[in-house]
């Protein structure tokens, strides 16, 4: 099956179920972490077996903001963009926006993808994000946000972006635009 379907129809529902069981007390944090690491390890081993498009000459910076400890979605984004021929700079979880800014300044990407399940201290983070947004515009990068942390319109309004993607399919469709 296509990689995006693997993520959206198999891995994502399984991880949502694990999260629900963790919230209900059926699973421990250790159980959730084992499931996450097992899934990421399996996807890493699978990646060389999947069809990869030739390089498109574009670069993306992908990561999660400060205080975000859930990196699976951003890893999926990196994984799928790489399969589509992108050069991906993966910053991982818990990355302050000033560090995103440093990466944008250094790598001058075409796309910046930020995934968050929750945002703490919206006032501070939106101020720091503003500097990132200004630099992204200066270098010609488009900003994409996604995840539950950005699901509310009022929150998205504080983080100006070119696209809010509710799922990986939306992201791939946006990234494919010229």
Is the pTM here over 0.85, yes or no? yes
Asked if the model's pLDDT at residue 142 lies above 90, the reply is yes
Say what the pLDDT of residue 33 is. 93
Decide the pairing of beta strands 142-146 and 163-165. Answer: parallel
Task: Give the model's pLDDT for residue 100.
Answer: 97
Average pLDDT, the chain: 93
Please state the three-class secondary structure of 113-139 as a single string.
EEECCCCCCHHHHHHHHHHHHHHHHHH
Is the pLDDT at 99 greater than 90? The verdict is yes
Sign of the C-alpha dihedral, residues 22, 92, 158, 177? negative
- Which residues is 95 bridged to in the sheet? 65
Cross-strand bridge partners of residue 63: 92, 114
> What does the pLDDT read at residue 48?
83
Q: What is the pLDDT of residues 111-139, one digit of tens each?
A: 999 999 988 889 999 999 999 999 999 99
pLDDT classification of 49: cutoffs 50, 70, 90: confident
> For the residues 37-66, what does the mean pLDDT come to?
92
Whole-number pLDDT of residue 52: 87
Let me know: does 27 contact 18? Beta carbons within 8 Å: yes
* DSSP-assigned beta bridge partners for residue 109: none
């Amino acid at each position: 099956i296509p990689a995006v379907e693997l993520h959206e129809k198999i891995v994502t529902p399984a991880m949502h179920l694990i999260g629900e069981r963790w919230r209900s007390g059926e699973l421990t944090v250790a159980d959730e972490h084992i499931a996450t690491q097992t899934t990421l390890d399996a996807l890493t081993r699978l990646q060389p077996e999947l069809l990869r498009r030739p390089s498109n000459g574009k670069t993306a910076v992908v990561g999660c903001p400060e205080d975000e400890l859930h990196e699976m979605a951003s890893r999926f984004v990196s994984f799928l963009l790489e399969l589509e021929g992108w050069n991906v700079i993966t910053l991982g979880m818990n990355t302050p926006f000033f560090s995103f800014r440093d990466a944008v300044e250094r790598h001058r990407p075409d796309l910046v993808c930020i995934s968050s399940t929750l945002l703490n201290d919206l006032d501070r983070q939106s101020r720091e994000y503003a500097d990132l947004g200004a630099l992204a515009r200066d270098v010609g990068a488009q900003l994409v946000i996604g995840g539950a942390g950005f699901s509310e319109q009022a929150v998205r309004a504080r983080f100006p972006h070119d696209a809010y993607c509710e799922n990986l399919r939306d992201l791939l469709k946006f990234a494919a635009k010229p």
